[in-house]
């Protein structure tokens, strides 16, 4: 390995949708940017294993980062997709209650959304039935701002703008060690061509790897080494035709939003994710989990044909609290939080990270000023 140290203005670790959005924003602002990605391609982690939903900003506590960045990010994302011709659709979603207990909770969801500036319309059972004749529902909330996006197309657009602004992406470049000292960051990069990089600014946007990076990081305060838990969610695709043109969600459950119906841009249906707390990163889909899916879906869609459900894929949410921990916010820690110049750590960037990516990028830029 060479002892030479190469200098670069700004390093971004992680080429998921958030890392690429951050890198693109910084490059357009005049930074010299290099993105380090451990994998063979960009976006192979969390960004390729989600629902591809553009969230409205319904469920997050008022004044939380998730609420603020989701609402602002959603506005920016729709505009960006229009301008850059990225595939998307503002298809809207229903939150359906299937019993009186769930129905009584819809008003509190509506109130929380309203506090975040998100419009939701409360519909009674007969009104929902006229819109969703195949569904069973006591009542429902309609979210007109929810949509779907081609995540791969979005990342291609962000990467293109990054490169147009003079930035670059280095694949198969795993970060092995970091030292933050004397106003600079020394980053040991492994892989087939190991090297040492010295950066004035460093953005840790490594997704599931963001917390593990802190274990071999000299000069980082202990308060910047959080504990992380993994919540896996699996998806099942639904073959053939179905009667829905909107997303359909049950009333939320602990740890997630329940097994819901999402659509891709071709109209193909898929269900998920569920919630399973796991010890290590693993993406297998147990076909037997279909039984729980069938039971949950038939609560609101009795006409489901179970034999048409097929295992699709799994994703993992990086959680900063365990199963009993309740809500946690994004952690986007800059010099104001940890006192280290030119460093921003992004921890716990789960949903609504995709929706929020452009707003997260703006916040990171602001923290570096």
| Residue pLDDT, tens place only, 268-289 | 999 999 999 999 999 999 999 9
Please state the rounded mean pLDDT for residues 236-260: 86
- Looking from the CA of 146 toward its CB, the CA atoms found within 13 Å total 26
CA trace torsion 96, 102, 104, 110 (10° rounding): -50
Q: What is the pLDDT, as a whole number, of residue 280?
A: 94
**Tokens 């969610």 -> residue:** 233
Q: First CA to last CA across the chain, in angstroms?
A: 35
The pTM of the whole model exceeds 0.75: yes
Q: Partners of 186 in the beta sheet? A: 179, 198
Residue 91: CB atoms within 10 A of its CB come to: 19
What tens digit of pLDDT does each residue of 249-265 get?
Answer: 988 765 556 679 999 99
Q: Which domains does the chain have, with CATH numbers?
A: 5-49+152-227+327-368 (3.50.50.60), 90-146+228-319 (3.30.9.10)
Give 141-184 as a DSSP string. Answer: EEETT-EEE-HHHHHHHHHHHHHHTT-EEE-S--EEEEEEETTE
CA trace torsion 326, 355, 159, 32 (10° rounding): -70
Please state the rounded mean pLDDT for residues 68-85: 98
Whether residue 201 is predicted with pLDDT greater than 80 in this model: the reply is yes
Residue 144 confidence class, pLDDT cut points 50, 70, 90: very high
Q: What is the pLDDT, as a whole number, of residue 352?
A: 97
Is there a contact between 20 and 358 (Cβ–Cβ < 8 Å)? no
Tell me the pairing of strands 195-204 and 343-347: parallel
Poorest-pLDDT segment among 16-30, 250-264, 307-321: 250-264
Return d(Cα 44, Cα 33) in angstroms, integer. Answer: 20
Q: What is the pLDDT, as a whole number, of residue 119?
A: 94
Among 42, 124, 54, residue whose Cα is nearest residue 89: 54
Residue 227 confidence class, pLDDT cut points 50, 70, 90: very high
Please provide the average confidence, as pLDDT, over all residues in the chain.
95
């Amino acid at each position: 390995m060479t002892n030479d140290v190469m200098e670069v203005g700004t390093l971004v670790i992680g080429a998921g949708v958030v890392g690429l959005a951050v890198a693109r924003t910084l490059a357009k602002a005049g930074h010299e940017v290099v993105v380090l990605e451990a994998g063979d391609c960009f976006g192979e982690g969390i960004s390729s294993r989600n629902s591809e939903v553009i969230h409205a900003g319904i469920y997050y506590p008022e004044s939380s980062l998730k609420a603020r960045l989701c609402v602002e990010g959603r506005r920016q994302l729709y505009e960006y997709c229009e301008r850059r011709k990225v595939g998307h659709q503002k298809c809207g979603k229903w939150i359906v209650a299937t019993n009186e207990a769930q129905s009584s909770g819809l008003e509190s969801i509506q109130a929380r959304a309203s506090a975040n500036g998100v419009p939701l319309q409360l519909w009674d059972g007969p009104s929902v039935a006229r819109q969703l004749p195949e569904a069973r529902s006591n009542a429902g909330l309609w979210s007109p701002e929810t949509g779907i996006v081609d995540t791969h197309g979005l990342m291609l657009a962000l990467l293109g703008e990054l490169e147009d602004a003079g930035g670059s992406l280095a694949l198969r470049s795993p970060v092995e060690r970091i030292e933050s000292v004397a106003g600079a960051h020394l980053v040991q990069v492994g892989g087939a061509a190991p090297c040492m990089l010295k950066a004035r600014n460093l953005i840790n946007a490594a997704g599931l790897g963001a917390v593990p990076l802190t274990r071999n990081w000299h000069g980082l305060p202990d308060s910047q080494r959080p504990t992380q838990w993994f919540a896996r969610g699996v998806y099942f695709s639904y073959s053939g035709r179905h009667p829905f043109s909107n997303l359909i969600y049950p009333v939320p459950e602990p740890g997630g939003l329940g097994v819901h119906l999402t659509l891709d841009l071709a109209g193909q249906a898929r269900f998920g994710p569920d919630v399973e707390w796991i010890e290590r990163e693993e993406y297998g889909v147990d076909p037997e989990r279909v039984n729980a899916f069938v039971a949950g879906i038939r609560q609101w869609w009795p006409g489901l044909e179970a034999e048409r459900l097929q295992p699709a894929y799994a994703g993992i949410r990086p959680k900063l609290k365990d199963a009993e921990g309740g809500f946690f916010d994004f952690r986007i820690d800059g010099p104001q939080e940890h006192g280290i110049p030119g460093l921003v750590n992004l921890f716990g960037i789960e949903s609504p990270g995709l929706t929020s990516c452009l707003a997260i990028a703006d916040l990171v830029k602001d923290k570096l000023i």
